């Protein structure tokens, strides 16, 4: 055989052997496809797992943000209620102060009249004698006592709470009437 023929025969034999060796059986091909499918499934599962983790982190972050926003809104509402309560309290105090001032008016007028009448009675008592002087001195003493009590109640009225003020009104009205009556006006 010639070299060329030997080379050709050898090449054909090697080619046939290579082709025979490269040929996979159907079972081997099925195994390869199964492995490839497993790899694809693993990759898909990993991708789903990663997506689920990302979604969980996103949901957690959104929940924290929502919680912060709710907390901020609750604080804003609390502050608004506090401010409204303060405003109502301020208005109530102003109204109570105005009512006290209006209530106090007749008593202040009575005190002014009483001061003038007491001064007049003291002058009269200086020039009087006997039972007349004694009666005038008693009248002045009683009027001064009532005046002192009324003035003290009026001072307490300024600082009194609304509950206490309601209870004091009756006492002040009674003292005002008693003082006026003791001096005859």
Could you read off the pLDDT tens digit of each residue along the chain, which spans 185 residues?
555 444 545 444 444 444 454 456 887 876 877 787 688 668 767 887 888 898 889 889 988 998 999 999 889 989 989 998 999 989 988 888 888 889 899 999 999 999 999 999 999 999 999 999 999 999 999 999 999 999 999 998 878 887 788 889 999 999 999 999 999 98
Contact 124, 136 (CB under 8 A): yes
CA–CA distances in Å: residue 122 to residues 118, 127, 146, 158, 169: 6, 9, 16, 31, 30
Q: Cα–Cα distance between 101 and 140 in angstroms, integer?
A: 28
**In 3-state terms, what secondary structure has residue 26?**
helix
Structural domains of the chain, count: 1
In a domain, 4, yes or no: no
DSSP 22-37: HPPPHHHHHHHHHHHH
In a domain, 19, yes or no: no
pTM of the model: 0.54
Question: Which residues span the domain enclosing 173?
Answer: 28-183
In a domain, 120, yes or no: yes
In a domain, 16, yes or no: no
In a domain, 60, yes or no: yes
At residue 24, the pLDDT reads: 65
In a domain, 11, yes or no: no
In a domain, 134, yes or no: yes
In a domain, 21, yes or no: no
């Amino acid at each position: 055989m010639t070299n060329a023929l030997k080379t050709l025969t050898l090449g054909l034999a090697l080619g046939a052997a290579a082709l025979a060796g490269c040929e996979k059986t159907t079972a081997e091909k099925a195994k390869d496809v199964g492995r490839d499918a497993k790899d694809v499934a693993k990759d898909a599962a990993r991708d789903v797992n990663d997506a689920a983790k990302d979604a969980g982190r996103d949901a957690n972050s959104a929940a924290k943000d929502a919680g912060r926003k709710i907390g901020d809104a609750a604080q804003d509402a609390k502050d608004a209620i506090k401010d409204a309560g303060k405003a109502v309290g301020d208005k109530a105090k102003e109204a109570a102060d105005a009512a006290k001032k209006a209530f106090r008016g007749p008593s202040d007028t009575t005190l002014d009249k009483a001061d003038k009448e007491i001064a007049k009675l003291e002058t009269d008592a200086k020039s009087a004698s006997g039972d007349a002087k004694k009666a005038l001195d008693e009248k002045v003493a009683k009027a001064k006592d009532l005046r002192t009590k009324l003035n003290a109640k009026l001072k307490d009225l300024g600082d009194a709470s609304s509950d206490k003020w309601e209870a004091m009104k009756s006492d002040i009205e009674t003292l005002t009437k008693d003082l006026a009556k003791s001096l005859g006006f």
